[in-house]
Amino acid sequence: MSSHPGPDKEEDFDAWFGEAARKILRDAYFVTRNPKLAEDIAQEATLKFFKAWGNEEMRGKILTQPGYVRTTIYHCYLDHVRVPSRTSQREVELDVARHDKSSTEIDRDLRLAVLALGDMERDMIVLHYYHDLTIREAGSQLGLSPSQAYRLHDSALAQLAGLLDEGKA
Amino acid sequence: MGVEKRLLEDARSFANEVTSLDEEGFISRTRAALGLPPKDSDTVTESENEETPGGPAAPSGQPRQGHQISDLFVKHN
């Protein structure tokens, strides 16, 4: 993979970034709930997209798969909080708390449970509840038929409830 | 409280919080850090920089202190 897209592709990247930047920052804020950390994570993810832009296949994924962009942002966050050995849910939680002492009312357990879902389930929850898309619209973005979208939504809620119950135990 | 209700409440809170993000500042700083040419909308005044949630003001056209994207290039290569 090239480390720089090259001058001919830079303009394309610039145009894409102009469209996607706010969404990238908001997705980063979704996981961090900390404006400073969100900007760091968003910048790190943007660098990855910039470096990948010269590769046609990667550029195609960035342009056509919003889920890929979101997953990259979430992975940047997890990389940020990951300790060398392994990251536990508790470690992630502690990091969030460390970075976000002022926002005690934030439902951190819920946010961490959403991040622990599979990619499709997580994207359905994020798109429907946090990006204000209908279940059908969210499903369409994920390449699903309406009936598949409703099933995914129900399954994601059930998994989320399970994760939150586990957290209480 | 049910999961769906928690999601709806958290999403409402999220929608309020994101309005305070310095999106223009982020775009400007990130474009500068990547070496992309500045645009008219990238001009950030000193007073605006002081208001950014990302910490101390950075010189115009520079990433925030402590987070240099060029360093990441070196690290990842």
Burial of B34 (0-12, 13-18, 19+ CB in 10 A): buried
Residues 24-53 of B with CB under 8 A from A: 26-27, 29-31, 33-34, 36-37, 53
Q: Is the ipTM value over 0.85, yes or no?
A: no
Question: Do A23 and A81 have their domain in common?
Answer: yes
Question: Do A45 and A101 have their domain in common?
Answer: no
Per-residue pLDDT of chain A (169 residues; tens, 9 = 90+): 446 666 667 888 999 999 999 999 999 999 888 899 999 999 999 999 999 999 999 999 999 888 899 999 988 988 887 744 444 555 555 555 555 544 445 677 888 899 889 989 999 999 999 988 999 999 998 999 999 999 999 999 999 999 998 866 5
Long-range contacts of A58-63 (CB under 8 A, 24+ apart): A58/A1, A59/A9, A59/A12, A62/A16, A63/A16
- CA-nearest residue to A132 within chain B is B11
Indicate whether B31 pLDDT > 90: yes
Which one of A117, A125, A129 makes the best mutation probe of the B interface by having the most chain B beta carbons within 10 Å?
A129
> How far is A33 from A16, CA to CA, in rounded Å?
25
Question: Do A74 and A18 have their domain in common?
Answer: yes
Domain count, chain A: 2
pLDDT at A166: 80
- How much is the pTM? 0.71
CATH number for the domain spanning A18: value is 1.10.1740
Last residue of a domain, one of A93, A118, A147: A93
Contact status of A38 with chain B (Cβ, < 8 Å): yes
Contacts A–B by Cβ distance under 8 A: 92
Q: Pick the residue with more confidence: A42 or B62?
A: A42
Question: Do A89 and A141 have their domain in common?
Answer: no
C-alpha A144: how far from chain center: 19
Last residue of a domain, one of A93, A120, A146: A93
Q: Closest Cα to residue A33, out of A94, A95, A80, A103?
A: A103
- A45: containing domain: 1-93
C-alpha A141: how far from chain center: 15
Question: Do A125 and A89 have their domain in common?
Answer: no
Question: Do A102 and A79 have their domain in common?
Answer: no
Question: Do A25 and A81 have their domain in common?
Answer: yes
Last residue of a domain, one of A76, A93, A110: A93
Contact status of B56 with chain A (Cβ, < 8 Å): no
Indicate whether B67 pLDDT > 50: no
Question: Do A1 and A56 have their domain in common?
Answer: yes
Question: Do A85 and A130 have their domain in common?
Answer: no
Q: How close is the nearest chain B Cα to the Cα of A143, in Å?
A: 23
CATH number for the domain spanning A130: value is 1.10.10.10
CA angle A152, A30, B69 (to 5 degrees): 120
Q: Do B55 and A10 touch (CB under 8 A)?
A: no
Question: Do A115 and A151 have their domain in common?
Answer: yes
